[in-house]
Amino acid sequence: MKSFRVCFSLAVLIGIAVSMPLTVQASAPEPTVSAALRDKQGTDKVRLRVWGFEVYDARLFTVNGFNAERFGDHRFALELSYLRSFKGGDIAERSIDEMRNVTELTPAQADGWLKAMSAIFPDVQRGDRITGVHVPGSGARFYLNDRLLGDIADEAFSRSFFGIWLSPKTSQPRMRETLIGQTGGAPRTP
């Protein structure tokens, strides 16, 4: 699959997906996930099981000072190591469903973001890793194993996408607590 970038424009906000090279961004994308993770510390793997099926192992990569309550302000990465095969389109659809749980999406956002993720996310096999990097002020970058897949240059998308795992509204609160707790960025408990 060819590497490419997906850029959102005003057209996406009115429901028309636009794919074009990204011309302006906060920083040039690292060509490999190894380069993107260079200065970050990873957590232990946390396994997602759904109805007894093992889905993936998640790891969060952050720098010192990561504040989970303000995760959108930090550059970090989330790696999902798949334990079974999935179609890229199914990953995108499940992501939109989970994003709706953590934030309110307009129909135009949901449609545009689904199209963008479907264009970027490949089919995965057991052992494949998709790593997403949140770039504050810019959006999200995605890698398959060690290869850059592309960008979704929309900060609202990136916050909503990574909120699947890091928002207090996540459908997997134990996974969130474990990932965040390992970074030292655990939210205060009342």
Distance CA 41, CA 24 (A): 28
For the chain, the first-to-last Cα distance in angstroms comes to 47
When pLDDT is averaged across residues 13-36 and rounded to a whole number, the result is 54
Q: Which of 7-21, 30-44, 66-80 has the highest mean pLDDT?
A: 66-80
- DSSP annotation of 120 reads H
Q: Is position 26 within any domain?
A: no
Domain hosting residue 111, numbered range: 10-16+31-183
- CATH code of the domain covering residue 85: 3.50.70.10
Whole-model pTM: value is 0.81
pLDDT score of 185: 54
Higher per-residue confidence, 166 vs 43: 166
For residue 27, the model assigns a pLDDT of 63
Distance CA 119, CA 189 (A): 39
User: Can you give the pLDDT at residue 58?
Assistant: 97
Total domains, the chain: 1
Residue 2: inside a domain: no
pLDDT tens digit sequence for 87-140? 999 999 999 999 999 999 999 999 999 999 999 999 999 999 999 999 999 999
pLDDT, mean over the chain: 84
